[in-house]
Amino acid sequence: MLELNRYLEIPLPEDVEKAKWCGDFDRALRLIHRKLSEGKLPFAARKRLELEEHILRRLPLDYRYSEEEGLALLREHIPDFTREELQELEDSGAIDWIYIQGKPHFSSSFYDTLEKVYPDIARRAGLPPAEESKERKLLYDTVKKLEETGSAACRIRLRAHLRVADSAFRPGEPLLVHLPIPAPAVNMENIQILECSPQPARIAPETAGQRTVSFSCAPQENPLFTVEYQYDCRAVYRPLDPEKVSPLQPDFDTQEQAPHIRFTPFIRALCKELSAGEINPLKLARKFYDYCTTVVTYAFMREYATLTQIPEYAGLGLKGDCGVQALLFITLCRCAGIPARWQSGLYVTPYDVGCHDWAMFYVAPYGWLFADPSFGGSAYRSGNKLGHDHYFGSLDPFRMAANSQFQWEFDPPKAQLRADPTDNQRGEAEYPDRGLAREELEESWELVSWEEIP
């Protein structure tokens, strides 16, 4: 089913596009159904409209606040917040919004973005500075120690759960569930899959681009799907010197990958502008990283399944979450002939477990290096130069990497469209006739043990 997503490159008919972006989703769906029933469109255009049906049903779910409701939410936390301030946040792009029935509606996570990214908002809401949190202190203390000693590692044991929401559970019907599990990589070793429930469970090979444990069953009662695993995550710091870069560089992982990793006219123009005649691949990658961390601003995102061209979304809108920023970096690197690829899974500390994406790029003689524009951008915004520099080339040891490929098929493959067709951090589930949406799945993680190791 992932092959269908390449048809996102096909433009929509103008009338569908107009109805979509003024927020008349009923009209847009009606137009799509009419065009499909007439049978006049070429195959590629029909497939694009079939995908758009899913996008149109998903899109309004991610924008639940009207302007008035958004202002009311802000005033719950900041009583003196003004309508003029709200307008400025909208116009500056700090608030993600779309039209629904001709009126602006805010992203469901707009307030979380404001608190996370804009210190003045957090201060006025009475929140302590992010830099004072125990998790942030652990992170930057570890980064400092890592650069002093050259390496740092953690042994992590985690239990992941996934359950179908009661409202979506269908007793006795065949159900296929995938949960992400760690995969061997340059920063992942000593992986053990300790327990899976219910049985039987199928563990994908270590070479899987998006590694999972899968469950195929037809339960009468709604089960909890669980996998417990242990692994070592090791981060290595190596000072990078552009003068030591080899004149011969490889050309693997430099190709386009439709529909998102594409060298569109805009991406080519941005790559050329940022390169400014530079040919050293390490210096080039740093220019791309600096753009993704100092110009593009972090923002929580709607579902990736509703985005037709993720790197352009970031480069033109100058905002995006960890995956959007990472994908822009990867695409710029590939456009410049620098091998780059995806890595993602979880960020795990004693204080929190959450989904995260980052990038890898290859420069000889150093080999595969890391870039985390999200963490690097956060360090930049807080004035932490050490952290900003560190996340170009290196990581921290607090990762669980399950995915080494972007937009990759599972093993065994899904038959229905995925909730997230690009990546897998939480898990997926499907019945024979449809895949389950994100709101129909309940995921959680339980940190069993966490320790620093030599």
The model's pLDDT over 203-252, given as tens digits with 9 standing for 90+, comes to 999 999 999 999 999 999 999 999 999 999 999 999 999 999 999 999 99
Mean pLDDT across 293-309: 96
pLDDT confidence tier of residue 1, bands split at 50, 70 and 90: low
* Residues 24-28, mean pLDDT to the nearest whole number: 98
pLDDT tens for each residue of 162-198? 999 999 999 999 999 999 999 999 999 999 999 999 9
pLDDT over 90 (residue 16): yes
Categorize the per-residue pLDDT at 280 as very low, low, confident or very high, splitting at 50, 70 and 90: very high
pLDDT at 130: 80
Distances in whole angstroms, Cα of residue 169 to Cα of each of 280, 317, 429, 430: 54, 38, 11, 10
* Closest of 227, 266, 234 to residue 151, by C-alpha: 234
End-to-end Cα separation, the chain, in angstroms: 43
Confidence band, pLDDT 50/70/90 cuts, at residue 305? very high
Mean pLDDT, to the nearest integer, of 68-87? 98
- 322-334 tens-digit pLDDT: 999 999 999 999 9
Residue 181, number of CB atoms within 10 A of its CB: 24
pLDDT value for 311: 98
Mean pLDDT score, 289-316: 96
Q: Residue 5 — pLDDT band, cuts 50, 70, 90?
A: confident
Q: Is the pLDDT of residue 3 over 90?
A: no
Q: What is the largest CA-CA distance in the chain?
A: 67
pTM of the model: 0.96
